[in-house]
Structure 1
């Protein structure tokens, strides 16, 4: 499968990590996706995509056209039809806010059709993308759509959230929340309220996800792994807590995860393999 992605030009880069086009036949059609510090937009030009929440009370979904996903705090499984043709956006955790006029909590751990967020727009976007448009053209189209929808004036508090969450990103979630609140110059309750409005979760949860993302992306399964050292480097100082969170976020113990990754190694330079893992 081929992944073509790029960081968009300013001002989109304040809110978007990358736009991308994913095409071809996946090596692993079922992928187990742990919580990662992103919100998403997908425009599907291929076959149906099936999503299964790790929460058994949530029914599985079959998604055919396009959908938004907020920040996820638990893992889910995605199953692709073949061949895949998908145009997507990885928003920063707070980055969807200036493009979608709804509270971020409504998309936390959820998906919603594009037309439920951008009224009556999906057919027009899909027609512009076309069935055979090259990847670079598809990325240009999706960037133009984002620019046209970027709010002229940022919502009140979004700059503060972006700055605070950016500090969590650069410190990989290890910055104490008290220090983050003090630097922001607001109360902890006020900052948590702003994060819920624009990210969907509290600063503490955002920090947890950044910390775990650093850990999972740092593991080289082809080499011996000292889990205690990896965990401490990522900011886990309680091994029991690390083990519980690892199992919660991946569905595997560290030992099980390492065995899985050695059987199915991530493809170098292929971002969809960075974090997500084959689902058995």
Structure 2
């Protein structure tokens, strides 16, 4: 079940668990943080006395501050799908920075965090330990969101106009499926291709080509989840691929199955 918050989660490969309870809620940050934070999220599950289940999500071009007992860290952009075995009872709280929104806190090229993580105390000092304790003691996502607001507002960095510029470009890629090349994005941004690549390296943590490819594959997954009949060649071309074979290779590499295999599995009860 998903409740509240700004929009539905995107890139979740399995929209339902086979059994047990699963909840995913989201909340918007304080208006003063809206330019830096996409949203807060909270996931909880109860599989006590039930078999463990695998949940998988596709990568996004966002840094995440994740709070979970024994696993709390700030995670850079990950290039592959995230796979997690859910068992017993548990919960996780996360801060999803906007694309580019972590750079003002970090002050270094975010690409250095790709496929790696950072101790939160590196950014938030001694406040990090107290933040984790308060989040883990929180009894609702609203209470946790208030704690997150307090932490981030206390450490609010100076304004950086490039954050809005970059986050707008990434949002454009996410929402406009006609953008299938770096050249086209650079043209829309009125930037040279090299300048665009440097901007993404520093602020996003992944190159524009990677971001475009991931969001086009997100689009493919969303269409398959919708259960509509699909012409694979037509879809591949619409998403910017030269041929169906290239699209299928990329899809299988990221999702772990071919589009047809994934669609068949999602249709199973």
TM-score interval, normalised by the smaller of the two chains: 0.7 to 0.9
Q: Distance in 2 between matches of 1:262 and 1:254?
A: 12
1:124-273 matches, cutoff 5 A: 124-154=130-160, 157-172=162-177, 174=179, 176-220=181-225, 222-263=227-268
Aligned match for 1:20, one of 41, 50, 67: 41
**Secondary structure, aligned partner of 2:31:** coil
**Secondary structure, aligned partner of 1:219:** helix
Q: Distance in 1 between matches of 2:206 and 2:56?
A: 22
CA contact (8 A) 1:173 1:206 kept: no
1:100-139 matches, cutoff 5 A: 100-139=106-145
Higher relative contact order (CA 8 A, sep 6+): 1
Tell me the equivalent position of 1:269.
none
Q: Distance in 2 between matches of 1:43 and 1:110?
A: 16
TM-score (norm 1): 0.76
Distance apart, 1:28 and its partner CA: 5.8
* Cα shift readout 1:219-253 (whole Å, capped 9, x = no counterpart): 23655444334434444452121011101111111
Q: Distance in 2 between matches of 1:36 and 1:186?
A: 23
Is residue 92 of structure 2 the alignment partner of residue 92 of structure 1?
no
CA contact (8 A) 1:221 1:261 kept: no
**Secondary structure, aligned partner of 1:164:** helix
Rate the CA distance shift 1:212–1:231 in 2: closer, same or farther, 3 A: same
Which range moved further: 82-91 or 244-253? Answer: 82-91
Tell me the equivalent position of 2:28.
7
List runs of 5+ in structure 2 lacking aligned partners.
1-21
Greater helix fraction, Structure 1 or Structure 2: 2
* Cα shift readout 1:69-124 (whole Å, capped 9, x = no counterpart): 22222223223453112111222332222233332112112223323443333321
Distance apart, 1:161 and its partner CA: 2.4
TM-score (norm 2): 0.79
Q: Distance in 2 between matches of 1:28 and 1:90?
A: 26
